[in-house]
Structures are given as structure tokens and as C-alpha cells.
Amino acid sequence: MEKIITDLQTRLSFQEDTIEQMTRTLVEQQNEMYEIRQMLKHLQKQIATMAPSDIEANINETPPHY
């Protein structure tokens, strides 16, 4: 009986560690997604404020390595 309890405690400990690791990973991913959304909003604002002639000029420019 004591071995069963010890085994269960060991399993529970591993499960708790796994859940903690998964929670940390989830929080990191949520933070990264928030940052990406903020960057995307910023880029959308920049694109919206560009005049069409600015966009065309950038497309038709010869890259510096040519």
C-alpha cells in the first residue's frame, strides 16, 4: 500500500511540474502574440499613412546590391 501511495505522489509531482512548464510556455506565447499584434498594428498605421507615390517609389527602386 505504501508503494502505491509513493508511486501516486511521484506521478502527481511530475504532473504538477509538467503543468507548471506548460503554463510558463503559454504565458510566453501569449506575450509574444501580444507583441506581434502591436507590431502589426504599427505597420498597418505606417502603410495607411504612406502616399501611393511613396509606395511606388519604393517598389521601383533598384536594390543596393545591384
Phi-psi domain of 22 (left: phi exceeds 0; alpha: psi -120 through 50; beta: other) = alpha
pTM (2 d.p.): 0.61
In this prediction, residue 14 carries a pLDDT of: 98
> pLDDT for 42-63, tens place per residue?
999 998 887 666 666 666 667 6
How open is the CA angle 35-47-29, to the nearest 5 degrees?
A: 15
Grid cell for residue 34: 501580444
